[in-house]
Amino acid sequence: MAYQIPITIKDAINNIRKRHYVLPAIQREFVWDTGQIETLFDSLMRDYPISTFLFWKVDKNKVKDFQFYEFLKNYHEKDSRHNLKADLSDEEDIIALLDGQQRMTSMYVALTGSYSKKMPYYRKSSSHAYPKKKLYLNLLKSSDDIEVEYDFKFLTESDAKPKEGYYWFECGKILEFSDVSKVMEYMMLEGLTDTSKYSQESTTFALRTLNEFFNVVHQKGTISYYEEKGEELDKVLQIFIRINSGGTKLSYSDLLLSIATAQWQEKDAREVIHDFVDDINQIGDGFSFNKDLVLKACLVLADFKDVKFKVDNFNKANMAKIEENWDEASGALKLAIELVSKIGYSRDNLLATNTIIPIAYFIYKNRLDSKILHSAEREKDRKAIREWLARVLLKGTFGGQPDNIYPAMRELINDNLGKFPLAETIAYYRGRRKTISFTEDDIESLLDLQYGKAKTYCALTLLYPGLNYTFKYHQDHIHPKSLFKKRNMRKLGFSEDQIERYNDSVNELANLQLLHATTNIEKSNKPFKEWLKAEYESESDQQSFLRQHYIDSEESLEFEDYLIFNENRRKKLKSTLIKMLDVTVHHDAEEVAEA
């Protein structure tokens, strides 16, 4: 990458007009407002530095490999905010602007086009809401704004009519001046040299200002730039990310989405994916999925061998396949999210959003429809997915970089079409770093999980596989937390040692259950025994509830017996989880001898 001889604004404008200068797909859209453009031109007139530009020279033989866009000329906030695709020949090299788009577009709009922004208090549908404005320069005096010297303003044609103290020069006309003599010629034709009409100070200011403006546009090497000649897009993207320090930085996935947008033929990838993200995040109690997740899912569901975020994976052939399969793939992804929502997950407890991708792949490859959400014939799959999801979330399987997991899960799903391969997945990963098998120590850790945590919900879903997830469930304290307040316990005659022991376990799994949301709200702070009798009148219903929640029917439910209750339920939950998760229990030598 080499520093080049600076060029004039006029030369840059000519190159844009000839489409020799274009914008690569990785560039974001034009976002500068009129105030920023006016300040830019004041800086140019005062010879302030406006930063170096970065150009990417693309060989004519490579032009057709990428998508490029034309510069925006007439900005309209409602009707013309998007750059048009550039229809380029492969007969000559082109220059793609990597850094400086906002500045270059600002100069192009100001000197050749217009800017239309919605006026306040007007309806968007009103024809008067977006007045067309051009950049003008007052030739009679400097700006009244202390932060700028030259009075550049975007004005409508009617606003630009001369009035006392103002002669508005339409800035685009400077491009028509072939040499500096045209400045004086213009001054004379417009009467700006007439001292009977204007003061000597004003005419002198006008001459100096217009001369300087001509020099800035036609003669000074204002556009300083570096030129990159490399043809590897990955390298170009890395350079772009490195130098893109103004405003909100673009992520690598932002750039890849831009490339996808450029490659899709029928749909606008950026618009489609952004709308889709908004849509899926509204499912159930809401999620926090992003475009990265959707882009990754596109690569996985398309069965590409390599699913990493690399430019090579976003080539025309791959993007064509993704666009072709978009409706089916996005439908599978949405069904997967609806399914995990029904199981009770949301942004608050779905610890790793990328766990949704293998579930979507299972739906996609088996061509499942909404029956996966409610049909009795798919109940086994729903249970298997619920357990798989709890396992991988509890084990943190999808933490870090899970790109190596997707190919393995795809193979397992393809080898076991017709069912979700839970047992096969457990067997495949047993003994590996990403294992989803549990040890006895793991079970003890699960029992120590605390109320309100996302992992706690995951563990509870394992313990309550038979719940009707059409309804919403809450984590609930079996013995209400309000009873554990030290003041309350002292009134009941508990010792300080008892109070400490009670509070050590109040939020642990042994005192937690999943309870229907409405029931939980109604339960409030009632003592457990009192609530149980009020909620279930018959003894058989009470016994059924206790069995479902791993509580021995002979157990005392009195608050003063809580420590025994907690110890017994912890043992029962441990035994249940060991059996449910197929945990091998290793007894020490003494226990084996006694056995």
CB atoms within 10 A of CB 319: 22
Would you place residue 474 in the very low, low, confident or very high pLDDT band (cuts 50, 70, 90)? confident
Distance CA 100, CA 27 (A): 10
pLDDT value at residue 234? 62
Beta strands in 6-67 (DSSP E): 21-24, 53-58
Say what the alpha-carbon torsion angle 28, 30, 36, 41 is, to the nearest 10 degrees.
110
Would you place residue 239 in the very low, low, confident or very high pLDDT band (cuts 50, 70, 90)? low
- φ, ψ of residue 312 to 5 degrees: the values are -60, -30
Pairing between β-strand 114-116 and β-strand 512-516 as defined by DSSP bridges: unpaired
**Residues 95 and 57 sit within 8 Å (Cβ to Cβ):** yes
Nearest to 450 by CA among 384, 389, 508, 535: 508
Summary mean pLDDT of the chain: 89
- Which range (198-212, 213-227, 391-405) has the least confidence? 391-405
Residue 16, pLDDT > 60, answer yes
Cα 400 to the center of its chain, rounded Å: 18
Residue 122, pLDDT > 50, answer yes
pLDDT value at residue 251? 62
HSE toward the beta carbon, residue 484, CA cutoff 13 A: 19
- Rg (Cα) of the chain, in Å, rounded? 35
Distance CA 508, CA 567 (A): 11
Would you place residue 473 in the very low, low, confident or very high pLDDT band (cuts 50, 70, 90)? confident
- φ, ψ of residue 61 to 5 degrees: the values are -75, -10
pLDDT value at residue 322? 92
Would you place residue 124 in the very low, low, confident or very high pLDDT band (cuts 50, 70, 90)? confident
pLDDT value at residue 247? 43
Distance CA 176, CA 231 (A): 37
Residue 405, pLDDT > 80, answer yes
Who wins on pLDDT, 407 or 233?
Answer: 407
Distance CA 457, CA 512 (A): 10
Task: Tell me the pLDDT tens digit for each residue of 274-293.
Answer: 899 999 999 998 999 998 89
pLDDT value at residue 556? 94
Distance CA 218, CA 9 (A): 7
Nearest to 511 by CA among 551, 458, 556: 551
- φ, ψ of residue 225 to 5 degrees: the values are -155, 155
Tokens of 94: 């082109």
pLDDT value at residue 245? 43
Distance CA 210, CA 139 (A): 7
- 3-state SS, residue 429: helix
Residue 465, pLDDT > 90, answer no
DSSP bridge partners of 56 = 96, 228
The residue-averaged pLDDT of 399-424 equals 92
- 3-state SS, residue 406: helix
Distance CA 318, CA 312 (A): 9
- Which range (249-258, 327-336, 469-478, 571-580) has the least confidence? 249-258
Contact residues for 65 (Cβ-Cβ < 8 A; gap 6+): none
Residue 191, pLDDT > 70, answer yes
Contact residues for 58 (Cβ-Cβ < 8 A; gap 6+): 66, 93, 94, 95, 96, 231
Residue 181, pLDDT > 90, answer yes
pLDDT value at residue 578? 95
- Which range (53-57, 242-246, 491-495, 560-564) has the least confidence? 242-246
pLDDT value at residue 15? 96
pLDDT value at residue 590? 40
Distance CA 515, CA 464 (A): 10
Contact residues for 379 (Cβ-Cβ < 8 A; gap 6+): none
Residue 67, pLDDT > 60, answer yes
pLDDT value at residue 252? 66
The residue-averaged pLDDT of 154-180 equals 95
- Which range (39-43, 59-63, 429-433) has the least confidence? 59-63
Pairing between β-strand 114-116 and β-strand 74-76 as defined by DSSP bridges: parallel
Residue 248, pLDDT > 80, answer no
Tokens of 109: 């709009």
Tokens of 70: 């034309």
Per cent of the chain over pLDDT 90 is 63
Residue 249, pLDDT > 60, answer no
pLDDT value at residue 44? 96
- φ, ψ of residue 73 to 5 degrees: the values are -110, -55
- Which range (182-196, 254-268, 355-369, 558-572) has the least confidence? 254-268
Distance CA 236, CA 95 (A): 13
Residue 496, pLDDT > 70, answer yes
Long-range contacts of 189-192 (CB under 8 A, 24+ apart): 192/139, 192/167
Domain ranges of the chain: 1-246, 251-433, 445-580
Contact residues for 298 (Cβ-Cβ < 8 A; gap 6+): 322, 326, 329
pLDDT value at residue 588? 53
Residue whose tokens read 């199981």: 343
Fill in the amino acid letter for 521: I
What are the angstrom distances between the C-alpha of 226 and each of 2, 57, 95, 230, 243?
5, 10, 11, 12, 12
Task: Tell me the pLDDT tens digit for each residue of 168-177.
Answer: 999 999 999 9
Distance CA 45, CA 583 (A): 76
Who wins on pLDDT, 112 or 196?
Answer: 112
pLDDT value at residue 20? 95
Distance CA 595, CA 589 (A): 10
Would you place residue 589 in the very low, low, confident or very high pLDDT band (cuts 50, 70, 90)? very low
